[in-house]
């Protein structure tokens, strides 16, 4: 009888120890198989934007997030090269759409709450936020120069003082190229190339490598004006920088960026959880109220930090045409820049 009692006590202790061990493992975000429960995310988003979101995701799910920050073009190249990446977080639908075959088809549980135009963007494309293209101006450097839209960027006084990244490397710059073509072409992108050629000339051979260099360059006083996206300028404003946001009077293209799961992801469950978390109501509400981005959800109001879309001239573009023309448009623009850009 004593022997049976000892066996039962031993078994009970083993169960308690196992339970404690499991609890420690789970709290550290380790999966049953012993591998770290981690999602590797590559993203062009500003660190200031990502940090609070990834921290909350980790706290709620126990899944660790490893962030690799780089431009959209480099992010896609990393995935094409087979790097161990689970999620591409960021990059506009228009820029990433042509690479849809790299990503895993997935429909988030939150899509029913999206605005109609953000549903079914593609089998492997999940809309994240609504991102208008804008001009950001350094108010300390502007002086008596008037900037209300694209036409004003042809002012000779701005030659070499305009921050613009290569549309080959930055999705926000490709968004602006698309915006220029439609706005200055009166809705026909082919008619917008006369303007784009003049704009390229006024860059004076100066082309930046990333979207980050654009908004930081304007905020730090290296450039008078930059072609960027709304949230970047809002972040600079909240940080006390002397900048202002200009919604181009010729019209603004507002395109969603996305979250895309690598079809060769090591942690597909974690990646799906990441997509669901980032499109959930609480997350999108925080993004809109505190971070200055526009939600893709119907039940989340826009931030008071941004202009109402009713006060902006919004341009519609042919999504399929833009995605299909991306390579040609970039090549044509780079041809206007010549071989001497830097």
Q: Where are the domains of the chain?
A: 15-130+256-305, 131-254+311-337
Full 3-state SS string of 178-190: HHHHHHHCCCCHH
Specify the pLDDT at position 323: 92
pLDDT at residue 126, as a whole number: 97
pLDDT band at 239; cut points 50, 70, 90: confident
**Distances from the Cα of 25 to the Cαs of 36, 66, 268, in angstroms?**
9, 18, 20
Q: In the predicted model, is pLDDT for residue 25 greater than 80?
A: no
- Name the pLDDT band for 292 (thresholds 50, 70, 90): confident
Q: What is the CATH number of domain 15-130+256-305?
A: 3.40.190.10
> Using 50, 70 and 90 to split pLDDT, how confident is the model at 7?
very low
Q: Going by C-beta distance under 8 Å and a sequence separation of 6 or more, which residues neighbour residue 127?
A: 93, 114, 118, 119, 121, 256, 257, 258, 279, 296
57: confidence class by pLDDT, cuts 50, 70, 90: very high
pTM attached to this predicted model: 0.81
Same fold flag, 15-130+256-305 and 131-254+311-337: yes
Of the chain, the percentage scoring pLDDT greater than 90 comes to: 75
Backbone angles phi, psi at 144, to 5 degrees: -95, 15
Asked if residue 59 has pLDDT above 60, the reply is yes
H helix or E strand, kind and range, residue 91 = strand 87-92
| Mean pLDDT of the region 299-320 | 91
Predicted confidence band of residue 235 (pLDDT cuts 50, 70, 90): confident
Mean pLDDT value across residues 284-305 = 91
Model pLDDT for residues 184-232, shown as the tens digit of each residue: 999 999 999 999 999 999 999 999 999 999 999 999 999 999 999 998 8
What confidence tens digit (pLDDT) does each residue in 70-96 have?
A: 989 899 999 999 999 999 999 999 889
Close Cβ partners of 298 (under 8 Å, ≥ 6 residues apart)? 113, 114, 115
Q: Which two tokens stand for residue 338?
A: 């010549």
131-254+311-337 under CATH 3.50.50.60, yes or no: no
- Cα torsion at 76, 82, 85, 89 (round to 10°)? 10
Give dist(CA 166, CA 151) in Å, integer: 20
For 116-143, write each residue's pLDDT tens digit.
Answer: 999 988 899 999 999 999 999 999 999 9
pLDDT given for residue 15 in this prediction: 37
- Which of these ranges, 29-43, 52-66, 271-285, 294-308, has the smallest mean pLDDT? 29-43
Confidence of residue 5 (pLDDT cuts 50, 70, 90): very low
């Amino acid at each position: 009888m004593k022997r049976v009692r000892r066996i039962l006590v031993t078994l009970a202790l083993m169960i308690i120890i196992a339970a404690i061990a499991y609890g420690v493992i789970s709290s550290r975000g380790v999966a049953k198989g012993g591998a770290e429960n981690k999602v590797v995310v590559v993203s062009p988003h500003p660190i200031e934007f990502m940090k609070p979101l990834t921290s909350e995701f980790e706290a709620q799910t126990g899944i660790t997030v490893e962030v690799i920050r780089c431009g959209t073009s480099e992010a896609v190249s990393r995935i094409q090269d087979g790097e161990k990446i689970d999620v591409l977080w960021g990059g506009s639908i228009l820029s990433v759409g042509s690479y849809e075959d790299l990503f895993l088809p997935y429909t988030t549980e939150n899509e029913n709450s999206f605005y109609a135009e953000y549903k079914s963007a593609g089998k492997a494309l999940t809309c994240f936020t609504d991102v208008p293209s804008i001009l950001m101006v350094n108010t300390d450097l502007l002086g008596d120069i008037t900037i209300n839209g694209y036409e004003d960027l042809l002012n000779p006084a701005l030659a070499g003082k305009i921050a613009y990244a290569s549309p080959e490397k930055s999705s926000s710059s490709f968004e602006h190229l698309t915006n220029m073509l439609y706005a200055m072409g009166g809705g026909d992108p082919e008619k917008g190339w006369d303007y784009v050629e003049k704009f390229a000339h006024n860059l004076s051979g100066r082309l930046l490598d990333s979207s980050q260099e654009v908004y930081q360059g304007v905020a730090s006083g290296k450039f008078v004006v930059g072609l960027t996206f709304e949230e970047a300028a809002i972040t600079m404003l909240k940080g006390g920088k002397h900048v202002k946001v200009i919604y181009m009077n010729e019209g603004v293209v507002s395109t969603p960026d996305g979250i895309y799961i690598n079809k060769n992801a090591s942690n597909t469950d974690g990646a799906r959880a990441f997509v669901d978390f980032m499109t959930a109501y609480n997350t999108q509400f925080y993004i809109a109220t505190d971070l200055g981005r526009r939600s893709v959800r119907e039940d989340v109001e826009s931030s008071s930090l941004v202009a109402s879309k009713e006060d902006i001239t919004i341009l519609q573009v042919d999504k399929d045409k833009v995605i299909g023309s991306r390579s040609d448009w970039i090549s044509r623009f780079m041809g206007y820049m010549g071989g001497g850009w830097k």
